[in-house]
Amino acid sequence: MTENLKRLPDNPERSARARLALEGLSVGDAFGQQFFFPWIVERADENCLPAPRWNYTDDTEMAIGIIQVLEEAGEIDQARLAKRFAERYLAEPDRGYGAGAIDLLKRMAEGIHWTDASRELFSGSGSFGNGAAMRAAPIGAWYAGEPDTIIHQAALSAEVTHSHVEGKAGAIAVALAASWAHEWRQAARKPPATELLTSTAERLPKSEVRRGIEQAANIPLKTWPFEVASELGCGHQITAQDTVPFCLWLAAGQLKNYCTAMWTTARIGGDIDTNCAIVGGIVALATGPDGVPDQWRAHREALRW
């Protein structure tokens, strides 16, 4: 299958799915970024959208890089992806990259091989931040319905910047959930939304991310989200294990309504732009193209390809 993709880099259906995930991800990212200060979150009103222009962050920048590599190569080519990440960072360094990511991307831009640069982070253990997860929904969309390939490709995408098992597990989890959301939309008989959590968790490597998603699967989807955030975490620590389980729980509970998903996610706090990016990428695949309102798309700044 991979060889066929290499021979046929033009995959319009795969590209359409990946770009739909990017729409949900990027609009969510830009929307969430409008709530950067706590006092703004407290005044959030669903009847009053934040004023445009909504600028997107590194979440979207790196997701665009992933789609570019998929459309060019038909799969995750790690060397190509590392180069793309470094180039996009140098072109627009003020997109909110974290300190670790800045150091890593600068090293890559200087010619240090990505394997060395990535594994040198955190005393050689690699990063377990939520950065690989935040950009992973397009991978699940591209390979929708192919879980084994999703696991492999998502891990490859994560390793370029997040070589720790938790960082990779976060990316795999989001990609699998994105694929599940697309299949859910296509299904004549919809499986229960909780299967997004259970089917994702059962395919993950042993990790805190997996444990958190298993825990999330046992929490009713109607539970008050603030209570769930206090139990699972909501990105305050900027780690995969503190971010991904809650985001998947939120997405599972709001598969039919992108706007409600975004407002709910933003109100919780934590790593708001990343949480909205993760939830948005998944939910857009469940609602389809019409789920992300035109007004929201217009408020987000134009994507730079």
Please, are residues 64 and 57 in contact by the beta-carbon 8 Å criterion?
no
Q: Do residues 262 and 276 make contact, with C-beta atoms less than 8 angstroms apart?
A: yes
Q: Is 10 annotated as a binding residue?
A: no
Half-sphere exposure of 70 (CA within 13 A, CB side): 30
- Specify whether the CB–CB gap between 284 and 47 falls below 8 A: no
Q: Is 168 exposed, middle or buried (0-12, 13-18, 19+ CB in 10 A)?
A: buried
Among 36, 21, 55, 9, smallest CA distance to 304 is for 55
Helix (H, G, I), strand (E, B) or coil at 190: coil
- Which residue carries 């066929």 as its tokens? 4
| 60 annotated as ligand-binding | no
260 in a known ligand binding site: no
- Binding site annotation covers 2? no
Of the chain, the end-to-end C-alpha distance in Å amounts to 27
Please tell me whether 58 is known to bind a ligand. Answer: yes
User: Annotated binding residue at 242?
Assistant: no
Residue 102, token pair as written in the block: 């800045």
Q: Which residue numbers belong to the known binding site for Mg(2+)? A: 57-59, 271, 273-274
Q: Which residue numbers belong to the known binding site? A: 57-59, 271, 273-274
